[in-house]
Amino acid sequence: MSVYKRKYRDMKSGKVVESKNWYISYYFEGKKIAESVSPNKRVAEDALKSVAGDIAKGKYSLRRDTKSPKFEGYAEVYLEYSKANKRSYETDITMFKALSAFFKGYKLSKITPFLIEKYKIERGKKVARMSKKPIAKATINRELAILKAMFNMAIRDGEADTNPVKAVKFFKEDNKKERILTSEEIQRLLAECNGHLKPIVILALNTGMRLREVLYLKWSRIDFNRNIIIVTQTKSNKNRNIPMNGFVIKTIDNIKRNSEYLFCDTKTGKPFDSIKTSFGKALKRSGLVDVRFHDLRHTAATMMVMSGVDLVTVKEILGHSSIEMTMRYAHPTTEGKMNAVKALERQMEDIDSRNIVATAKVVSMPKAVSNSSNEA
């Protein structure tokens, strides 16, 4: 078994040159097999180790390995499926860029659980462009999840026999506590939001809408007669109506119509795919740290609950599937508890006090009859 580059004579120059790709050679059932793998020597070495391991375990199939497509080729097939069937198509493209940087050149048959573990380690060493922090474990888990989905589709299409991701343990995610912005922080943030970003932030804070719901909002979904927003790009795929308050109505009135979408590229008329850069710069200028756009939704929900809005109403506005999801925004305080019992007091004052406070009555017990009286 070996990893090597082929040498051949260039017809034009007459010189002996090396191939661009690294090759691997090995023996299987008495036959010597050689195949081109990748311009990256490490990829070729890992591929040879994978083949050697499969042969040793009796799991190697020459027919399967020969027909197996390369990662980048089948990734394109999966993305075509994603474009036609998934709302997360743009996100999928981003995740496949990270996956392709590592797995490009590998045949699907040569991607093993061990190789995926190496991906986890290498990916964890990378630094995010905006935050300058290591790539989050949650991000790596989402990438592994889409890799798993791709292999499931490859198995369905007969392009793979097994799914190596199933044998890989995902990272345990650090469940970050929701970041709730204070009134002062909201003022600082809005003061630093420029151009199209400011109305987007105002809508999020006053409706609790998700970023995608805001970015894909169409003018046809604004009902000024009833003062409601009809949200269609929802996580649950169910439409919901959100009433507009004065801030939202005024904000939308000031947006110029350049397209069917409220927030769009004025040149193409298409909705913005992301506001990551502009939002990140606004946070930096305002001095806010550890804030995600989704935290604006958490902030809106918390402010509604703290203002006395019942959880069922908050649930309907946010579009939660269960009341348990909304319960996390209920943060009992000492003042809130005192207001609760005072509310009970006011209710009780309307009830007949005689039914609330009963006057104790003294009951006289009869004297015991003596058993010592003389018998007749």
Do 55 and 97 reside in the same domain of the chain?
A: no
CATH number at residue 162: 1.10.150.130
Residue 244 carries which DSSP code? Answer: -
Q: Rounded CA gap, 353 and 148, in Å?
A: 67
Longest dimension (CA), the chain: 150
Q: Rounded CA gap, 320 and 238, in Å?
A: 10
Task: Give the position of tokens 């397209």.
Answer: 259
**Is 60 exceeded by the pLDDT of residue 356?**
no
Average pLDDT, stretch 187-195?
94
Residue 235 inside a domain? The answer is yes
Do 194 and 323 reside in the same domain of the chain?
A: yes
Do 187 and 316 reside in the same domain of the chain?
A: yes
Q: Which of 190, 231, 184 is nearest to 207 (CA)?
A: 231
In the structure encoding, which two tokens stand for residue 67, read together? 């027909």
**Is 60 exceeded by the pLDDT of residue 359?**
no
Q: pLDDT: is 25 or 259 the higher one?
A: 259
CATH number at residue 266: 1.10.443.10
Do 171 and 227 reside in the same domain of the chain?
A: no
Average pLDDT, stretch 327-347?
74
Among residues 37, 61, 85, which one ends one of the domains? Answer: 61
How high is the pLDDT of residue 175?
Answer: 58
Do 57 and 74 reside in the same domain of the chain?
A: no
For residue 362, what pLDDT band results from cuts at 50, 70 and 90?
Answer: very low
For residue 373, what pLDDT band results from cuts at 50, 70 and 90?
Answer: very low
Residue 6 inside a domain? The answer is yes
Residue 164 in contact with residue 113, Cβ under 8 Å?
yes
For residue 58, what pLDDT band results from cuts at 50, 70 and 90?
Answer: low
Q: Rounded CA gap, 144 and 164, in Å?
A: 11
Do 52 and 36 reside in the same domain of the chain?
A: yes
Residue 342 inside a domain? The answer is no
Residue 128 inside a domain? The answer is yes
**Is 50 exceeded by the pLDDT of residue 54?**
yes
Our CA angle for 147, 150, 152, nearest 5°, is: 110
pLDDT over 90 percentage in the chain: 44
Domain that holds residue 51: 1-61
Q: Rounded CA gap, 141 and 172, in Å?
A: 9
How high is the pLDDT of residue 249?
Answer: 95
Q: Read off the amino acid at residue 368.
A: A
Do 213 and 318 reside in the same domain of the chain?
A: yes
How high is the pLDDT of residue 368?
Answer: 46
Q: Residue-wise over 256-289: b if at least 16 C-beta within 10 A, else e?
A: eeebebbbbeeeeeebbeebeebbeebbeebebe
Residue 362 inside a domain? The answer is no
Q: pLDDT: is 315 or 10 the higher one?
A: 315
How high is the pLDDT of residue 369?
Answer: 46
Residue 357 inside a domain? The answer is no
Among residues 113, 141, 175, which one ends one of the domains? Answer: 175
How high is the pLDDT of residue 374?
Answer: 44
- Which strands make up the sheet holding 222-223, listed edge to edge? 222-223, 228-231, 240-243
**Is 80 exceeded by the pLDDT of residue 361?**
no
Query: In this predicted model, what pLDDT tens digit does every residue of 83-128 receive, in sequence order?
Result: 998 878 888 999 999 999 999 988 898 898 889 999 999 999 988 7
Do 46 and 75 reside in the same domain of the chain?
A: no
How high is the pLDDT of residue 176?
Answer: 58
Average pLDDT, stretch 294-316?
90
Residue 81 neighbours by CB under 8 Å, 6+ apart: 153
Among residues 61, 90, 106, which one ends one of the domains? Answer: 61
How high is the pLDDT of residue 360?
Answer: 45
Query: How many C-beta atoms lie closer than 10 Å to residue 232's C-beta?
Result: 15
Our CA angle for 265, 268, 272, nearest 5°, is: 35
Count of domains observed in the chain: 3
**Is 70 exceeded by the pLDDT of residue 61?**
no
Do 205 and 283 reside in the same domain of the chain?
A: yes
Q: Rounded CA gap, 208 and 333, in Å?
A: 22
Q: Give the chain's end-to-end CA distance (angstroms, integer).
A: 126
How high is the pLDDT of residue 229?
Answer: 95
Residue 106 inside a domain? The answer is yes
Do 46 and 6 reside in the same domain of the chain?
A: yes
- Minimum mean pLDDT range among 8-12, 82-86, 133-137, 271-275: 8-12
| CA-derived radius of gyration, the chain | 33
Query: In this predicted model, what pLDDT tens digit does every residue of 193-245 receive, in sequence order?
Result: 998 999 999 999 999 999 999 999 999 999 999 999 999 867 767 789 999 99
Highest mean pLDDT among 126-135, 313-322, 337-346: 313-322
Residue 335 inside a domain? The answer is no
How high is the pLDDT of residue 48?
Answer: 83
3-state secondary structure of 35: strand
Average pLDDT, stretch 165-193?
87
Distance of CA 158 to the CA centre of its chain: 30
For residue 148, what pLDDT band results from cuts at 50, 70 and 90?
Answer: very high
Point out the residues that are catalytic.
Answer: 210, 235, 294, 297, 320, 329
Do 190 and 309 reside in the same domain of the chain?
A: yes
Supply the mean pLDDT for the chain.
84
For residue 329, what pLDDT band results from cuts at 50, 70 and 90?
Answer: confident
Do 162 and 286 reside in the same domain of the chain?
A: no
Residue 317 in contact with residue 305, Cβ under 8 Å?
no
Reported pTM: 0.58
**Is 70 exceeded by the pLDDT of residue 355?**
no
